[in-house]
Amino acid sequence: MASEQPQSQAAAAADSPEVEQITYDMRELLQKSGELTLDEKFALCRSVGEECIQEAELRRLLEKKPHIVAYDGFEPSGRMHIAQGVLKALNVNKLTKCGITFKFWVADWFAQMNNKMGGDLAKIQVVGRYLVEIWKAVGMNMEGVEFLSCSEEINKRPAEYWSLVMDIARRSNLKRVMRCTQIMGRNEDDDLSAAQIFYPVMQAADIFFLKADICQLGMDQRKVNMLAREYCDDCRPKRLKPVILSHAMLPGLLEGQEKMSKSDPNSAIFMEDSEAEVKTKIKKAYCPPLQIASNPCVAYVQHIVLPWFNKFDVERTEANGGNKSYSSYEELTADYESGALHPSDLKPALVKQLNAILQPVRDHFEQNAEAKALLKQVKSFKVTK
Burial class of residue 9 (count of CB atoms within 10 Å of its CB; 0-12, 13-18, 19+): exposed
Torsion of the alpha carbons at 48, 53, 57 and 61, rounded to the nearest 10 = -40
pLDDT confidence of residue 34: 76
pLDDT of the residue at 218? 93
Rounding to the nearest 10 degrees, give the CA dihedral for residues 267, 268, 272, 273. 60
Please name which of 249, 362, 309, 262 lies closest in space to residue 90, comparing C-alpha atoms: 309
* Residue-level pLDDT at 6: 33
pLDDT on residue 11? 38
Q: In the prediction, which pLDDT does 187 show?
A: 61
pLDDT tens over the chain, length 385 residues: 653 333 333 333 334 445 455 567 777 788 786 789 999 999 999 999 999 999 999 999 999 999 999 999 998 988 899 999 999 999 999 999 999 999 999 999 999 988 888 899 999 999 999 999 999 999 999 999 999 999 999 999 999 999 999 999 999 988 888 888 766 566 656 777 777 778 899 999 999 999 999 999 999 999 999 999 999 998 877 888 999 999 999 999 999 888 877 667 889 999 999 999 999 999 999 999 999 999 999 999 999 999 999 999 999 999 888 999 999 999 999 999 999 999 999 999 999 999 999 999 999 999 999 999 999 999 888 877 7
Residue 178: CB partners within 8 Å, gap ≥ 6?
188, 197
Written as one letter, the residue type at 22 is: I
- C-beta separation of 273 from 134 below 8 A: no
Q: How far apart are the C-alpha atoms of 363 and 379, rounded to whole Å?
A: 17
CA nearest to 242, candidates 257, 263, 221: 221
Question: For residues 46 and 50, what is the distance between their CA atoms, to the nearest angstrom?
Answer: 8
Secondary structure of the chain in the HEC alphabet? CCCCCCHHHHHHHCCCCCCCCCCCCHHHHHHCCCCCCHHHHHHHHHCCCCEEECHHHHHHHHHHCCCCEEEEEECCCCCCEHHHHHHHHHHHHHHHHCCCEEEEEECHHHHHHCCHHHHCHHHHHHHHHHHHHHHHHHCCCCCCEEEEEHHHHHHHCHHHHHHHHHHHHHCCCHHHHHHHHHHHCCCCCCCCCHHHHHHHHHHHHHHHHCCCCEECCEHHHHHHHHHHHHHHHHCCCCCCCCEEEEECCCCCCCCCCCCCCCCCHHHCCECCCCHHHHHHHHHHCCCCCCCCCCCHHHHHHHHHHHHHHCCEEECCCHHHCCCEEECCHHHHHHHHHHCCCCHHHHHHHHHHHHHHHHHHHHHHHHHCHHHHHHHHHHHHCCCCC
Q: What is the pTM of this model?
A: 0.86
In terms of Cα–Cα distance, which of 303, 302, 305 is closest to 355?
305
Rounded CA-CA distance 64/248 in Å is 28
pLDDT of residue 129: 92
CA nearest to 86, candidates 311, 264, 327, 268: 268
